[in-house]
Structures are given as C-alpha cells and as structure tokens.
Structure 1
C-alpha cells in the first residue's frame, strides 16, 4: 500500500467516524454504557483492520462503517420505543443506599466491593456513609447521591437570602479576535465592545486573551500578559 492510499483511507475513516459519532448523539461520549463501549471498540477495530489490509479500499471502509453505524442506529431506535429492550442493552439504575442503609445485594449484583463504592462516593465529595440518605448506581457506572438533610449544603432559599438571576457567560474576544456572531447573541456590535473595553482600560484588543460578558456583572477580561508562560 502506498503512502498516498494510506493517507486517503485514514482521512476518509476519520471523517466517517466523526460523522457517525455526531449522528448517534452525544450520549455515546457523555454517558458511556457497556453497549456504547463495545460499539466504539468494534468501530475502531473495523477501521484499523480495513486501513492496514492491502485488499481493502476506501469503498470497503465506508461500507463497513455504514453497516455497523446503521445497525447501532437501528438498535437505539428500537430502544427508544421499547423499555424492555433498552434495559436489556443498557442496564438499569440500582438503588444501593436506601434511607441510609446500604443494600449489599445491590452491590453484589453490580459486582462492586466496598472500596470501589467508597471511591465513587468520594468523587461526589462524600467521605462517610453516614452522610448519605439515598445513592443510585446509574447504568453508565456513575453514582448519584442524595445527602441526609443535616449534611446537605444549605441553599439561598434555606438561608432566606435574596435571589439574583443568573445568565450564561458569552465569549466576545478569543485570543485577540472579536467574535462577531457572539456579539449578535447579546444584540451588541464591535463599537459597543471597544467602548466597554476602553472603560476598563483595555485599548489594544490584540493583547486580550479572552473577554467574556455576563448580563449580571458585565465584562471579565484576561490579558495575554496575565497568563503563566512555562518554558
């Protein structure tokens, strides 16, 4: 196989897998179940074998990825319509702590020992079983925890404090470049941005690493000079 043919197959395989991942949705990455993990392994194996097989060309690679992708898509579609089929493929959550009591059978069913369970709890900033009222082991292996009232962090409502509205920050300048599309999201223009920056003493936009805007507290700017440069 020539280097040109290998490069072409790698490029085609890369973009095919990227398109496939976008089509099946974000859960493939953010909520990796056992079925998703196996699917990812098979896709990588198919592509790897196809690329380094001299008898396999671009058409065969695309065909293999397409067939496997359609199979996964069809299975996910059936899973959306059938709860039983979905549970069979993805599993279901397990209640491992109920009203402060650990369900040993649930732990055994999920083949989890006490040390692994403690590790998952520490990931949730829980360092003692006595703090937990309910704990659910999700199908993707993550743990969801509901603390006991006496160990739960108080909310603003609990403290009777005044509630302030929150908004998502919008990045307006990135590495010295003004992001016009993001300016349009807040119904502003470059002239407004430059005026606001000058009010804070920022004249040279090229020296701005990033500038984000939030409705409740305005602009927050980080200059390139403020960054730590490691040699």
Structure 2
C-alpha cells in the first residue's frame, strides 16, 4: 500500500513512459519497500522510500532543462529516413531488420519505401511518419469543413452510476433513472450508458442479439 502511494506521488510519467532512469528509480524504490520483509524495519523503509521519491521528483523537474535532459535520457534514434533503412540506427538500438518490419506492420505499413521517417523514441516506442502520398487523406486535403468531434460522456459503467459526470452535465439522478426505465432496463444490468451529442442516452446492455447465421456477424470458434 505504501509503495502504491509513493508511485501515485511520483506521477504518471514513471509508469506510462519508462526511460532508463525511470526504470532504475522503480527498481530502487521496489528494493527499499521490500526491506521490511527481510529485516523488519518498516519505519526506515518508509523514510528511505520517501527520500528516494523526493530526489526522483527533483531530478525529473531539473530534467525539464534541455542540457540536463540530454545527459539523463537517450536521444531518439532514426531507423528509416526517406524510405532508406538506417543500418547505423538499427545497430545502435540492436534491432534486426525483421523486427523493424514487424513494428511497421503493427503500425499499418508493409513497405519501407513508403516511410518518410521512422524513429525509436526515448521510451523505446517506434513512431512512423509516412511519405505524404501514403498518409491517410485528411479533411483539410479535400477542403472539407468538419464539425467538432464529440466525445460521448459515460453516465453508467458496469452497472454503476458515474455521479460526477451527471453533475458536470447539470443532470439529476431522477432524469437518468427515468431514461433507463423508459428503455426497459435496470441500472445493474447496463454495461455502458453514454450521453450523446443529441441529448439522448445510449444504452449498451448485457444482452447479445442473435443474427441468424448472418456471415457479417461471424464469431471465431466452434460456438457460433
């Protein structure tokens, strides 16, 4: 529990974007927290863990300055430039060509000639920028005006009402329960209910609709 609280204090970065320094921090913190199991000194372990967290947060704050950042973190490594594989870059990150091609397929690209730039980022993730003629068409390319994207707001998830979203929308519980009742559903049976752009409530419940062997609704396996 103490370890979880310290990780929460650290912030999302150490968990979501693991650099080499972040991994080292997690390793050190884990060893400090596990000390009471061996020597039964909970107080010292908590104190040392707290000091470690503070030092880590201080160093991360200092790393926002570019000069220190280039010392602590690896620079991005170019793997493909203008359709040509960078052999030196692959050697630097110790990646065989077959693995690079696999990463490209995951990103939706099958031919290295279509790639303008592929880079291994500081976190180990590979980002791919296709050549302009191979990138997806954007509305701006066709000079189309599109409306602002609307994100459906969940009001019920896994049978539980999301009260803070109701409050955000200035809606009350009675309205939600009435909508659920009108749909012939019960809150506890609803997987997801979202507030739509048109002001309506969309409900996804647990019932699976049978489609009478429609090939468009094929499910893999023998239990069709």
Of 122, 133, 157 in structure 2, the residue corresponding to residue 150 of structure 1 is: 133
TM-score, normalised relative to structure 2 = 0.82
Of residues 194, 214, 219, the one that matches 1:212 is 194
Distance (Å, rounded) in 2 between the aligned partners of 1:97 and 1:23: 38
Q: How many residues get paired?
A: 209
Cα distance between partner residues in 2 of 1:70 and 1:207: 45
Instruction: Give secondary structure in 1 for the equivalent of 2:18.
Output: coil
Select 2:67's aligned residue among 61, 79, 84.
Answer: 84
CA drift at 1:218? 3.5
Per the TM alignment, residue 205 of structure 1 is displaced from its structure 2 partner at its CA by 2.8
Deviation, 1:198, is: 4.6
Task: Provide structure 2 residue ranges, at least 5 long, that are not aligned to the other structure.
Answer: 210-224
C-alpha distance in 2 between matches for 1:169 and 1:26: 25
How far off is 1:187 after superposition?
A: 1.7
- Please state whether the residue corresponding to 2:139 is helix, strand or coil: coil
Q: Aligned to 1:69, which of 33, 38, 53?
A: 53
2:36 paired residue among 45, 48, 51 = 51
Runs of 4+ in 1 over 6 A off after TM superposition: none
- TM-superposition CA deviations, 1:134-173 (whole Å, max 9, x none): 1121011111111122321212333455513212222111
| Corresponding residue of 2:102 | 119
How far residue 51 of structure 1 moved from its aligned partner, in angstroms, is 2.7
Q: Report the TM-score, using the length of structure 1 for normalisation.
A: 0.80
Over the aligned positions, Cα root-mean-square deviation in angstroms equals 2.3
Greater shift after overlay, 174-183 or 216-225? 216-225
Distance in 2 (CA, whole Å) between partners of 1:208 and 1:226 is 12
CA distance in 2, matches of 1:146, 1:24: 32
1:26–1:216: structure 2 CA closer, same or farther, 3 Å change rule? farther
Cα distance in 2 for partners of 1:85, 1:18 equals 28
1:27-68: CA deviation from partner (whole Å, max 9, x where unpaired): 1111111111121122222222x1322x33220110221122
Query: Taking structure 1 as reference, are residues 204 and 52 closer, same or farther at Cα in structure 2, changes over 3 Å only?
Result: closer
- Quote the Cα distance in structure 1 between the aligned partners of 2:111 and 2:200: 41
Matching of residue 191 in structure 1 with residue 177 in structure 2: no
Is 1:36 paired with 2:22? yes
Contact 2:84 2:113 in 1 (8 A): no
SS at match of 1:144: strand
Find the counterpart in structure 2 of residue 4 from structure 1: none
